[in-house]
C-alpha cells in the first residue's frame, strides 16, 4: 500500500458554486437523512459536532474539500474521541484493556486521553472546478479496515505510524481528528505555506478562560500541551484553543488573492477544506 493516498481529480468534479456553503449544501438531503439525534450541540459556546459516546462504533460523515488552485497535503492526528467516565490513567476504555501491550501509542505514558496517532499523507488535488468528497465509513475512516471506494469514500492509512492493528480497529470505532498538519503547494510543486490546524473548537474556551458548567477539564494533549475538556452529556473530548498559537482557521495570501484553510463541524458532518476567501 502506498504511503500517500492521491485523490485523483477525475473522480469527482463539482459543477456547483465553489464556496464553502454551497459545497456543504449540495449534500444537505443526504446529511439530514442520517437521522442522527446523538450529537454535541452547545449554543452557549457556539459549537456543534456529530460526536456522542452513544455513537461508539457507528459511521460518521467526514467531508474534504479543495476549491483553490493549490495541492493540499494533510496528515491527521487521531485519538480517542470520548471520555469514558474513568480517569486518564485507567487502562480500561469502553471494555478494551489498553495496558495489554496492543495499544502502545494510544496508551503512551499510561494515559489514554491526549495521545494521537499520525496518519500517512493524504493529498487533496488541484481541480479547476473544485474537489470534494465525503467519507461515511467508520467512526473514523481507516484503510484497510474501511473500503477505499472512490468517489464515495476515502480512508486514511497509517503505515508509517507504527500503530498496531488493535489500535487502528479502536480508532475505526471511536477515533477523532484532533489536529491536521498541512502543506499548500502551487502548480509547480513549490511550498506556499505549512503548519498545523486544530479540530474546530471555539477559541478561548477552557480553564484558562471561560469554562461553561457543561464542560469539564479532563487532561492535556500530548502533542502541544493544550487542555482537553469533555462535554458532560455527550462525553465528547475537544482540544482547546488558548489563542497562543494556531487555531482552526488559517488565512494566507498568494498571487494577490486570499485563501483560507478551515477545520469545522456541524451536527452531521466533520469537515476540512481549502477555500478562496
Give residue 39's pLDDT.
77
Give residue 274's pLDDT.
94
Domain count, the chain: 1
Cβ atoms of 248 and 241 closer than 8 Å: yes
Give residue 144's pLDDT.
76
Encode burial over 235-270: b for 16+ CB neighbours within 10 A, e otherwise. bbbbbbbbeeeebbbbebeeeeeebebbbbbbbbbb
Q: Cα(186)–Cα(68) distance, rounded to whole angstroms? A: 10
C-alpha grid cell for residue 176? 477523532
pLDDT-derived band at 153, boundaries 50, 70, 90: low
In this predicted structure, which of 24-33, 46-55, 163-172, 209-218 has the lowest mean pLDDT?
24-33
In this predicted structure, which of 43-47, 167-171, 218-222, 255-259 has the lowest mean pLDDT?
43-47
Length of the chain (residues): 277
Q: What is the longest distance spanned by two Cα atoms in the chain?
A: 55
Cβ atoms of 150 and 256 closer than 8 Å: no
The pTM of the full predicted model, rounded to 2 decimals, is 0.85
Higher per-residue confidence, 9 vs 52: 52
Which residues lie closer than 8 Å to 125 by C-beta, 6 or more apart?
6, 7, 8, 9, 66, 71, 131
Average confidence score pLDDT of the chain:
84
* Mean predicted confidence (pLDDT) in 130-142: 76
Domain that residue 23 falls in: 5-276
C-alpha grid cell for residue 184? 499548500
pLDDT-derived band at 138, boundaries 50, 70, 90: confident
Amino acid at each position: 500500500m502506498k504511503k500517500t493516498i492521491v485523490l485523483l481529480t477525475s473522480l469527482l468534479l463539482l459543477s456547483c458554486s465553489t464556496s464553502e456553503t454551497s459545497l456543504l449544501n449540495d449534500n444537505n438531503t443526504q446529511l439530514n437523512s442520517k437521522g442522527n439525534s446523538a450529537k454535541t450541540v452547545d449554543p452557549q459556546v457556539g459549537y456543534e459536532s456529530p460526536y456522542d459516546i452513544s455513537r461508539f462504533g457507528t459511521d460518521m460523515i467526514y467531508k474534504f474539500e479543495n476549491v483553490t488552485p493549490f495541492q493540499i497535503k494533510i496528515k491527521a492526528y487521531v485519538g480517542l474521541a470520548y471520555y469514558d467516565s474513568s480517569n486518564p490513567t485507567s487502562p480500561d476504555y469502553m471494555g478494551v484493556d489498553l495496558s495489554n501491550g496492543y495499544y502502545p501509542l494510544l496508551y503512551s505514558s499510561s494515559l489514554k486521553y491526549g495521545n494521537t496517532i499520525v496518519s500517512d499523507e493524504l493529498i487533496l488535488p488541484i481541480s479547476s472546478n473544485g474537489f470534494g468528497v465525503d467519507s461515511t465509513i467508520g467512526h473514523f475512516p481507516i484503510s484497510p479496515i474501511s473500503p477505499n471506494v472512490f468517489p464515495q469514500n476515502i480512508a486514511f492509512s497509517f503505515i508509517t505510524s507504527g500503530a498496531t492493528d488493535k489500535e487502528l480497529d479502536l480508532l475505526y470505532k471511536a477515533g477523532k481528528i484532533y489536529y491536521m498538519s498541512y502543506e499548500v503547494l502551487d502548480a509547480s510543486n513549490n511550498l506556499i505555506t505549512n503548519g498545523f490546524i486544530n479540530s474546530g473548537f471555539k477559541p478561548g474556551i477552557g480553564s484558562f478562560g471561560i469554562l461553561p458548567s457543561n464542560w469539564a477539564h479532563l487532561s492535556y494533549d500530548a502533542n502541544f500541551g493544550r487542555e482537553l475538556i469533555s462535554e458532560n452529556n455527550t462525553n465528547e473530548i475537544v482540544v482547546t484553543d488558548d489563542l497562543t498559537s494556531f487555531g482552526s482557521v488559517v488565512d494566507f495570501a498568494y498571487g494577490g488573492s486570499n485563501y483560507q484553510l478551515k477545520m469545522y463541524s456541524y451536527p452531521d458532518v466533520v469537515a476540512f477544506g481549502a477555500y478562496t476567501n
